Each structure stands twice: as C-alpha cells, then as structure tokens.
Amino acid sequence: MIFCSLYSGSSGNSIFLASHHTKILVDAGLSGKSIEKGLTRIGYKANEIDAILVTHEHIDHIKGVGVLSRKYNIPIYANFLTWKAMMKSIGKIKENNIRVITKNTININDMDITGFSISHDAVDPYGYAIDCHNKRACIATDLGFIPEETKSILKNSDVILLESNHDVEMLKFGPYPYELKRRILGKKGHLSNDDCGKAILDILNSSKFKRIVLGHLSKINNYPELAYQTVAATLSTAGVKLNVDVNVSTAKRNEPSNFINF
C-alpha cells in the first residue's frame, strides 16, 4: 500500500491511501482545489479516487467532501449519525454516492476497511483501519484517550497516523479561553504529545516494525519539533530504539508529507 498525509492539522485534514486496485481519501477537510493540488503534488489525480471515508462531521474533516463527490462522482462512506450531522455542510450528494456504514468492516475493491469508535466531541466519530494484502494502515486522530480495544487494533498496524495535538503546558498557559482548554484536555478532546508517546509504547509489537506519523498538531499549542522530541524522549527512556524498533515522523500542516510505500 501507499500512505500519504496530504494535510494534517486544525486547518484541515486529508489522508491518501492506495493499493494496486484502490485509491481512497480519509477525510477531505480543505477546499476541493486544495485536495486536488495535494494529490497532483504526489503524482495522482482526484478523478482516480474510488471513495472518501469520513471520520466525523467537524469542518476540518469534511470541507471538500461534497465538492469532490459532485465533481468526480465519488462515493462517500460514513456512519449513520455522521451522515445526519454533516448533510447540511456538504451539500447535495447523488443517492448512489451516499454510502452508510452499517457494520464494522466494509470492502472497497481489494481493501478491507474497519471503522472503530474513538472518543471525541462529535456525534459518532470513527478511526479507520485499512487492510490490504497483509498490510494495515490506521488513522487515529481527534481522540481524548485511547481505550484498550483501540490499542489492540493499532498493535497490528504497519503505518499509523496518530494524534499528537498539543503540549500540555503550552495549552494551559496559551491564549485559548478556559472552556476550550478544558475541552481539548478532556476525555473527548485531543491527545497530547505526552499521551501520544505513552500510547506508542502500549501499541508497539515486536513482530512488526511500525511507521508512526504524528498528526493533527495544533498550530497554537504545539510545533513539529516539540511533538517529535517529546515522543522520542518517551520512547528512548523506555528503551525503544528509533528507526530500529519504530520510525516516527510528523505530518505537515499545509502540504503533502510522509509518502510511505509499504
């Protein structure tokens, strides 16, 4: 499979995955033109996309979903409550492109896609595990904490986009109002750099070399070097060897990054 974060952050999120027979986006949280531009930069075209999977209804995950679906006749997959919450925001969609996820695992050509519940302040937010030819990629962002059942899914992954949203001290002493700080720090908020590092320790699997991409970094309460250094320090203290046991990188906010062929 091929994995590439096109954009990642509070200003918009979109992840591209491809196999020999299938090309999908997980979220399209920027304008349609921005998504097209991102795909072009990595050598693909929007008219090649077979499906868009939606994690939840927040605008930084759905802004370009409707535009892309209408322009290129792309099916959109989301669970029932997410469809209900995002319909007004994405505009009119062709009936045959409204795909409601009614069971945990769906099949799109040669990809088996498993949705799993995450803890976030949306109506029914999902993470996704994408399996193809004994390889697995996972997207797990916008989550306040990671329960054990989610860790078991992530343990069997080759590539994971995992949230490392904020530095706790930057958030606490930063410019956000109290209620927003409380929301981000809560069980339905966002994962901190420290919690991300601890989660990685829990999901390392000695039989699989993992590539972990730190994503959804806050523009105000984090920066890429700090996220990476915090996670790297947590792993190193626990005896994990970077680039031997696990590879860690950060997803860029405004351009494609982390093109991984695995």
For residue 251, what pLDDT band results from cuts at 50, 70 and 90? very high
Residue 261 lies in a domain: no
Identify the burial level of 179 via C-beta atoms within 10 angstroms of its C-beta, where 0-12 means exposed, 13-18 middle and 19 or more buried.
exposed
Tokens of 232: 């790297």
Element (H, E) at 129: strand 126-132
Q: Which residues of 225-261 are buried (b: 16+ CB within 10 A; e: fewer)?
A: ebbbebbeebbeeeebeeeeebebbbbbbeebbbebe
Q: Which amino acid is at 9?
A: G
- Pairing relationship of beta strands 51-53 and 14-18 according to DSSP bridges: unpaired
For residue 206, what pLDDT band results from cuts at 50, 70 and 90? confident
pTM: 0.95
Residue 205 has pLDDT above 90, yes or no: no
Residue 260 lies in a domain: no
Residue 237's pLDDT is 97
Residue 104's pLDDT is 82
Name the average pLDDT for the chain. 97
Apex 34 CA angle, 255 and 214, nearest 5: 35
Residue 119 lies in a domain: yes
Q: How many domains does the chain have?
A: 1
Residue 83 lies in a domain: yes
Which whole number is the average pLDDT over 154-174?
97
Apex 130 CA angle, 219 and 45, nearest 5: 70
Which whole number is the average pLDDT over 225-241?
97
Q: Which residues have a Cβ under 8 Å from the Cβ of 176 and sit 6 or more positions away?
A: 184, 220, 221
Q: Which residue has the tokens 């339905």?
A: 188
Which whole number is the average pLDDT over 176-183?
96
Tokens of 37: 């531009």
Q: Which residue has the tokens 């908020």?
A: 189
Q: Which residue has the tokens 């969609």?
A: 93
Residue 186 lies in a domain: yes
Residue pair 110/133 in contact (Cβ under 8 Å)? The answer is: yes
Q: Is residue 219 helix, strand or coil?
A: coil
pLDDT in tens, 73-132: 999 999 999 999 999 999 999 999 999 999 889 999 999 999 999 999 999 999 999 999
Question: Could you tell me which residues are beta bridge partners of residue 76?
Answer: 52, 98
Residue 6 lies in a domain: yes
Within its chain, how far is the Cα of 217 from the centroid? Answer: 11
Q: What is the C-alpha radius of gyration for the chain, rounded to an integer number of angstroms?
A: 17
Query: Whole-angstrom Cα distance, residue 136 to residue 180?
Result: 34
Residue 258 lies in a domain: no
Sign of the alpha-carbon dihedral angle for 148, 149, 152, 154: negative
Domain extent, residue 176, equals 2-253
CATH number at residue 111: 3.60.15.10
Question: How much of the chain exceeds pLDDT 90, in percent?
Answer: 97
| C-alpha closest to that of 106 among 81, 126, 89, 84 | 126
Q: Is residue 5 helix, strand or coil?
A: strand
pLDDT in tens, 34-87: 999 999 999 999 999 999 999 999 999 999 999 999 999 999 999 999 999 999
Residue 124 lies in a domain: yes
